[in-house]
Structure 1
Amino acid sequence: MINPSSGPGGVCRLLASLLYGLESHMDSSEDSTFLQDMLMGNTLHLLIKVYDRLQKYRAQRPAPLLESAQGLARDLAEELHCVVASPETTELLYLLSKPHVQALLSVHDMVSQKEFDPQLPPLPPMPDYIEKEEDSIKIVCLVKNQEPLGATIKKDESTGAIVVARVMRGGAADRSGLIHEGDKLKEVNGVPMENKNPEEIIPILAKSEGAVTFRVIPGTKEEPETIDNKIFVRALFDYNPQADPAIPCKDAGLKFWKGDVLQIVSQEDDTWWQARRHGDANHRAGLIPSRQLQERRVTLQRPAVLFHPLRESMIFGEDVDYGAISGIHIAGLRKSFRFSRKDSTSQQVRQKMGKGHAGIHLPIYQEVLPYKRKPDEPYRLVLLTGTSGVGVTELKRRLLLSDPEHFSVSVPYTTRERKKHEREGVEYHFVSKHTFEKDILDHKFLEFGEYKGNYYGMSLDSVRRVVAESKVCLLDVKPHAITALYTSEFKPYVVFVKPPSIESLRLSRRKAKVLSSQNEQTPTKLFTEEDFQDMITSAQAMENKYGHLFEKVIINDDLAMAFTELRNELTKIETDTHWIPNTWAHV
């Protein structure tokens, strides 16, 4: 065996001998290839050369000429400031002030003085007497910077001790691995924690700068296994921890808004989960109410609370037939089957809202996963919904006109007689009443209704035909029809079109006319104040009941801007990675 220190190149010769001895044992396996690449890599050979050079100078026992090059540089700079300025002195002063030169001098002084360990503040002295229960006491030193330490504390009611209530994932305490849930705090920076409340400890930590020293007694609670959690959810409600009186620590809470995607990193506590907002630069988790807690809260709320009075600038609504107003007609373009505005009087809307309180469904979190459409996959179905009068039909019409080869609509069915100018499969599919009623019993229709003795309806098969043509199928539906299409087959992208404030409605629709019934061919009446109020009230009821299904909400205050916003969003979901419910994942 060759001694590594036996002259220059000893390690290199040992490595060569090792490779020669292993040659007969090498095969084509992955492990052998990895070992051979590692032993023959340039990085290893460079390290060996450095090692040989260090061994050479180690035998010579070199001593530094000066242990404080930084001090010499400072003295020289002071003297140069006193002499007459010249180009040479100015350049030398500039070089000495460069951070790279100062760092090099600092490293030289550390090597010459053999001070290789980081400079930490001295630990507090250990007491002469340690209680028996503290025989496992440990001292933890954490460096406090701009971010919080990432742990919460509470007072044990039975013992009066201050204990670590929870450690926030990704915070400084969690990254150190030195503080755990259940640990008892005895001292913080030399200040005893005995007979103190958590509120008294916070100022002590706030005044601490740099290193914070804790004396703790390790808790008995077993640490959970660290799991790389990949659970993502879309929040279906707004949350502000500062306004939540039940949260254990407001500063540890995570604020989020409806539609935000959150990564759940801990569900150990049944009441408070730990989560990060997806895309945030801060990796420290925050507390959010668990699904169970938030569901209990919603259940216990009085029904009236669920219908929050919205500011007028935030109120939304349904669908005006702009196509009828402008006189433009496109074959196959039909409104959702809203047969008469007379059916939606303000009194009936208020009655429906009053009866619907008990049946309101308000989900809390929707588990999601990232999705990007592949070139050979069908396009996502686009569902447009809103209240009567808000402009859903006009937005759909503009999308069709913007790219007829890319966007299309499904053709509805009817039992009425075909008119001379109509073509089968273009304006309608014309079927017998018996066939239509049979399809109703077979649940083939998304929506259907009867008007003047004739049936009208939209079938699932007509939607599938458009999707099979590699086009984006646009549907204008009532919210209740969304659930029938909310499947992995269609992956619907649901857009809710909302009305603006009632003042904006008065301005934008003051001269517009609307169809008084489905059978009318031209607009016959102007909007009334009651129509505007119905639009806003109905929109509010829709969002309260079906808001968890809406991926995009567009306020139609200006039709051109609303169309541009919608068109841009549809382009993004066709090309970019976005989030869909995990139940739509391919098995």
Structure 2
Amino acid sequence: MNGVCRLLASLLYGLESYMDGTPDSIFLQDMLMGNTLHLLIKVYDRLQRFKAQRPIPVECDAERLTQELAEELHTKEASPEVVELLFLLSKPHLMGLLFVHDAVAQKDYEPELPPTPPLPDDSDEEEESVKIIRLVKSQEPLGATIKRVSTGAIVVARIMKGGAADLSGLIHEGDELREVNGVPVEDKNPEDIIPILAQSDGAVTFKVIPGTKGELAAKDAKVFVRALFDYNPIDDPAIPCKEAGLVFRKGDILEIMSQGDDTWWQARHHDKAKPRAGLIPSRRLQEKRVALRRPEALFHPQRHSKPDTGKRNEGADYGAISGIHVAGLRRSFRLSRREAQDRWRKSDGQVASQFPTYQEVVPYHKEPGAQHRLVLLVGPAGVGVSELKKKLLISDPERFDVAVPHTTRAPRKQERGGVEYHFVSRHTFEKNILERKFIEYGEYKGNYYGTSVNSVHKVLEEHKVCLLDVEPSTIKDIYTAEFKPYVIFVKPPPLEQLQLSRRKAKVISNEDEAKPTKTFTEEDFEDMIACAQVMESEYGHFFEKIIVNDDLAMAFNELRAEQSRLETETQWIPKTWAQPCSDRNLK
């Protein structure tokens, strides 16, 4: 502040001899001594002090949080306080204030543009086609990649959405790079230009020849995808620029910013404040990669488990009740472990043609009064799926329920139709099979067992959460907008922890009058882990939540917390589930 004032005073003193009363000199004197200039100097001083504090916004997305709060309040009881708060949140003044807050919080005001040096005056024969571009350089990359083309020229390969180069609108894909900060680059490799940029302070000056590539088209509608695999550009030798890559994990929601390149898309994490996009492999590229390096465990699951001796209790599912693992809690029509593995081995050819990479999704929030999403519990035999389901039912029977299955066997003592089972004739059951009324079914000891679509709908129509544990092969048949299933995979811990947590557990046979018990064997543990690996490899793209059941109480708490989250938080569902149904003929 003092320096500016001294400079202004020196300027006035030096100009005294030139103040001859002409209009120009009077205008200059009035401007230098006027209140406007002095007020600007005060503003400058305040900004300098404000800059020294380096304030950081607590939240960069207050507008979105306010919208989510309003959506959650709509689900609450309409008390006077809730009504008043909703009214205040809907006021245009508050909405405008939040919009301005987010705009300021997300904008990078640093660094200041340094004094502009004189532009080079040594024009050549290409003077008309050369552009001089000056971009402000912050701590973030400029958001552009370069490459050498067949002609030997260095050109801009791609512009990253949201980066400094993209926001400036001055540099485009296909532009030929001639100089960087006055250093010619015609004889340099792309990697040699990186140190020049790294040494630049404040701003970077480019001399380019505009390319023939036209301007980008208007922005497309937002596209969001759920990543179905892990990715780290550092480990990818094919990516054009590792620094421009985007790290993500399986299950992350990504916003696709550009699909203009068939090989490399541009994307960013939807829940992070950084506007700059990063490179990710396109769906086409990733599918080719997976086809070329098929996981050994996926196509040869039998190599990861010992052969089945047929001595186990088929159809058994184990859960922890007072230290004893009870078989038969999972419905007895399920495939045995041996049958399930045989099916997976036979389906290897089918799996080879399916390479899930990205799933296009849209945000979803359950409206008040709408049906709950169907909750599917999946896991290998013995991991404790049935016990987790049972504990969830006992914890809140008014909120959770299960679909009553159908069977052709005769009712036992104290069994009531429509409570334990729907008892039907064999003819009726087979007719329902032909009419595709079952989600899944099977035959056990000469009797049919199955879960019908209607029984699931009955639970959902009562506005309860329907819990269903199924074989993983069933998921794809009910992965529809009708049920909007939320798939939870219950996974065993590593072998050593599995042996420790189940060391005192026992198994009761699935036979009707069986009483003898036996402890878990080493083979049981190995089969459980092998089956879990196969399930995750083949059906993992359906799993939205994975719970490791090392301790039943902790696994239950995690499951219960996940159910609560489903009721309150916005979820992401496949885009096809949100699209309107196709036209139907009038009856």
Shorter-chain TM band? 0.7 to 0.9
Change (3 A) 1:62 1:450: closer
Contact kept, 8 Å, 1:336 with 1:477, in 2: the verdict is: no
Contact kept, 8 Å, 1:121 with 1:211, in 2: the verdict is: no
Equivalence for 1:131: 125
Equivalence for 2:115: 120
- Provide the rounded CA distance (Å) in 2 between the counterparts of 1:328 and 1:101: 69
**Secondary structure at the counterpart of residue 566 of structure 1:** helix
Equivalence for 1:100: 46
Equivalence for 1:237: 229
Equivalence for 2:13: none
Alignment of 1:316-465 (within 5 A): 320-322=317-319, 334-337=329-332, 343-345=336-338, 354-360=345-351, 361-465=354-458
Matching residue's letter, 2:232: N
- Provide the rounded CA distance (Å) in 1 between the counterparts of 2:175 and 2:201: 23
Per-residue deviation at 1:517? 3.1
> What number of residue pairs does the alignment pair up?
477
Per-residue deviation at 1:359? 2.4
Equivalence for 2:205: 213
Matching residue's letter, 1:464: H
**Secondary structure at the counterpart of residue 166 of structure 2:** helix
Per-residue deviation at 1:321? 2.9
- Provide the rounded CA distance (Å) in 2 between the counterparts of 1:392 and 1:198: 55
- Provide the rounded CA distance (Å) in 2 between the counterparts of 1:308 and 1:436: 36
- Provide the rounded CA distance (Å) in 2 between the counterparts of 1:319 and 1:285: 49
Change (3 A) 1:338 1:432: closer
Equivalence for 1:482: 475
Sequence identity (%): 59
Change (3 A) 1:58 1:410: farther
- Provide the rounded CA distance (Å) in 2 between the counterparts of 1:542 and 1:192: 57
Per-residue deviation at 1:287? 0.6
Contact kept, 8 Å, 2:227 with 2:357, in 1: the verdict is: yes
- Provide the rounded CA distance (Å) in 2 between the counterparts of 1:539 and 1:383: 16
Per-residue deviation at 1:224? 1.9
Per-residue deviation at 1:523? 6.4
Per-residue deviation at 1:578? 1.2
Question: Rg: which structure is higher?
Answer: 1
Per-residue deviation at 1:475? 0.5
Per-residue deviation at 1:441? 1.3
Equivalence for 2:312: none
- Provide the rounded CA distance (Å) in 2 between the counterparts of 1:161 and 1:376: 63
Equivalence for 1:25: none
Unaligned runs of 5+ in 1: 1-56, 74-95, 105-116, 313-317
Per-residue deviation at 1:123? 3.4
Equivalent in 258, 262, 275 of residue 254 of structure 2: 262
Per-residue deviation at 1:337? 3.9
Matching residue's letter, 1:297: R
Matching residue's letter, 2:481: S
- Provide the rounded CA distance (Å) in 2 between the counterparts of 1:298 and 1:338: 35
Change (3 A) 1:58 1:305: farther
Contact kept, 8 Å, 1:337 with 1:448, in 2: the verdict is: no
**Secondary structure at the counterpart of residue 61 of structure 1:** helix
Equivalence for 2:546: 553
Equivalence for 1:51: none
Per-residue deviation at 1:349? 6.9
Matching residue's letter, 2:197: L
Per-residue deviation at 1:391? 0.6
Matching residue's letter, 1:470: H
CA deviations on 1:212-251 (whole Å, 9 max, x unpaired) are 1011111111122131531000000001111111111111
Equivalent in 238, 243, 251 of residue 251 of structure 1: 243
- Provide the rounded CA distance (Å) in 1 between the counterparts of 2:113 and 2:487: 57
Per-residue deviation at 1:352? 5.4
Contact kept, 8 Å, 1:339 with 1:517, in 2: the verdict is: no
Change (3 A) 1:427 1:305: closer
Contact kept, 8 Å, 2:228 with 2:357, in 1: the verdict is: yes
- Provide the rounded CA distance (Å) in 1 between the counterparts of 2:341 and 2:453: 32
Change (3 A) 1:120 1:226: farther
Unaligned runs of 5+ in 2: 1-25, 51-111, 305-314, 581-587
- Provide the rounded CA distance (Å) in 2 between the counterparts of 1:178 and 1:319: 67
Matching residue's letter, 1:100: R
**1:196 is aligned to 2:188:** yes
Per-residue deviation at 1:364? 0.7
Change (3 A) 1:214 1:398: same
CA deviations on 1:153-206 (whole Å, 9 max, x unpaired) are 001122x11100000000000001111000011110010012111011011111
**1:568 is aligned to 2:558:** no
Alignment RMSD (CA, Å): 3.2
**1:499 is aligned to 2:468:** no
Matching residue's letter, 1:130: D
**Secondary structure at the counterpart of residue 355 of structure 2:** coil
